[in-house]
Structure formats: structure tokens, C-alpha cells
Amino acid sequence: MNLFKIFPFLTLVLLSFAADAQKSYVIKQNFPIGKKYDFTLISDQVINQQMAGRKLSLSQNIGTEYSFDIRNGEGLEKDIEVTYKRIFMKSKGMGNEMEMDSENADTTKENSFRGLKGATFHMVMLPNGAIKSLTGIEQMLNNMVSKMKADSAMAANIKASLSQQFNAEGMKQTMESSLKIYPDKPVKIGDSWTVDTKMQLTMPVETITKYTLKEVKDNIAFLNINGTLLSKGSFQSMGNKIDTDLTGTNVGDAELDIKTGLILKSHLRMELSGKMQTGGQNIDFELQGINKIIGKETIESGLK
């Protein structure tokens, strides 16, 4: 065996690895105008609460399917028409069981989600995934309420209730908690960056998330995710003021397309626990959940 031939080969391999490690990658939202993407967001949660010696448990499965139509934009700011393709929720616990699905065509049952199927709103998305503006929520709410059997007074109450969840600020937070993940400068393998967002659960939760570029392969960036969660303040629920003092973690991974910034896959495990207080009563609170995102370019059939 000729060692003089092997050593140069090993040197080239090592230099190649070193070069890959030092290469900088620009990772940002860069959706091409005219393209369409499908996004699926699924959240599974188990919530345990204890108050005055009484234990209560709740399990939830919530899913939303969106279509993103990249209409136009200035520079890297993109005007995106977002369409609800489907939204569903299953909830069980605390003496109640509820299931709603926008796909359910049974008009004999109240189903506000039915009015969301095909509903649209517009948002302007920045290169770092932040949402600059969001419009069209009012019309979307009107459409939801119109699909429900209710007189004018009841319709107004329903709309007021729905607007607590479906409003411009809440929708902005929902989108940013999933899409605002990009660094503000080129990064190398091993580099990390942090992003501060708010997550709208039942209560508002602030997330400080650290992303690390683990690997780049076949134009796909592989990220490690490690974040902290904090809910400290108060919010209203069913007419009651609830104070929170909760902390937790958000851990997982994601895969992004380098060319467009499209989130191909994301998997996060969330844990949140601590104390809540309402009406002078203390509540021990614990939440465990898994959040998943799947993104893909829409394949048009070409059939008319």
C-alpha cells in the first residue's frame, strides 16, 4: 500500500469537511411570487390541573391546514393570501367532550369551523418570518357567523366570542410562533440564533427559542430547537380573571429548504407548568404537548 497516495487523499477529505463547516448559508423566507404552498399545523396537548384537592384533566387535538398563495411583494416582503383548507378540534375532559371539523357538512349541529373552510385573509411576511401586517379577519368572522343558525343578538354574541380567538393580533402571533424562525444574518454549521415570539394558547405564552444549524444536505437545512416558555401575567377566560406564573421548555428539530426558506418539517415537544390563580383559588397547572408542522409546494393537477 502506498502511504504517500493515502495521506494526500485524507488531507483532501479533511479540507473538504473544514470548508463545509466554514461555509455560510443564508436562511430566510424567499417564497417565489406565483408559487403556492400547503401548510399543516397539528397540536396535541394534555393538560392537568389541581384545585382544592380536585384533579382535572383535558386532552386536545387541534389541526389547521392552510394554503399560502404568494401573490406579490416588494423586495423580500411577500403579500400572501392565506386560505383555510381545514380546521378541526377534538377535546375531551373536565366532564365535557367536543369535536368540530370544517369538513363536517351536517348542518343540524352548530359548527363555527364550517364557516372557516375556504375563508381567506392576507398577510405581509418579512424575510425573517415576522408578519408585518394582517388584514381580512373581520370578513372571515362574518363568514363564520353567517354559517350558524342564530338570531341577530345571538350572532353578535357568537362573533364577540370568536373574535377573542380570531383577531388580527392573535392570528399574527399564531403565524409568527410557527414561521418566525430565520436568522438575521448568514450562518455556518454550528451557529445559533434566538427568536422571541408569543404563542397564543388558552393563555398568552412568550417563547425565547434558540435555533442551531446542525447540518446542510441536498439544499436542506437541519435545525436543532431549544427554547424556554414563560406565562406570567393575567388573562380573561369565560368572564374570569386568571393570573399565571408558568415556565417551561420547547425542544425539537426542523428541516428547511435553503432556496425558498420553506419549513418542510418541524417537530416540537412542549412542557409548561406552574401556578395559576383565580377567584382566590390556587391552581397547580401542567401542560405537555407536541406541535408539528409540514410544508410542501402545492402540486396543481392541471385539470379544468
Query: 46-50, 59-63, 64-68, 109-113: which range is least confident on average?
Result: 109-113
**What are the Cα distances from residue 141, in Å, to 16, 120, 138, 189, 298?**
55, 10, 5, 44, 26
Domain ranges of the chain: 25-297
Query: 10-14, 255-259, 260-264: which range is least confident on average?
Result: 10-14
Name the amino acid, one letter, at 182.
Y
Quick one: pLDDT band at residue 37, thresholds 50, 70, 90? very high
Please give the grid coordinates belonging to residue 15: 479540507
pLDDT of 303 > 50? The answer is: no
Q: 160-189 pLDDT, tens per residue?
A: 766 666 778 888 888 998 999 999 999 999
Residues of the chain with pLDDT > 90, as a percent, come to: 57
pLDDT of res. 33: 93
> For 101-121, what is the mean pLDDT?
79
pLDDT of 265 > 70? The answer is: yes
pLDDT of res. 291: 95
- Separation between Cα atoms, residue 41 and residue 266, nearest integer Å: 9
Residues of the chain with pLDDT > 70, as a percent, come to: 82
Question: What predicted TM-score, i.e. pTM, was given to this entire model?
Answer: 0.84
Residue 183: alpha-carbon gap to chain centroid? 17
Query: 8-12, 85-89, 266-270: which range is least confident on average?
Result: 8-12
- What CATH number belongs to 25-297? 2.30.230
Quick one: pLDDT band at residue 301, thresholds 50, 70, 90? very low
Give the position of cell 441536498.
218
pLDDT of res. 150: 58
pLDDT of res. 81: 96
More confident call, 141 vs 265 = 265
pLDDT of res. 21: 57
Asked if 204 and 242 count as a contact pair (C-beta separation under 8 A), the reply is no
Closest CA to 28 of 175, 130, 177: 130
> For 198-222, what is the mean pLDDT?
90
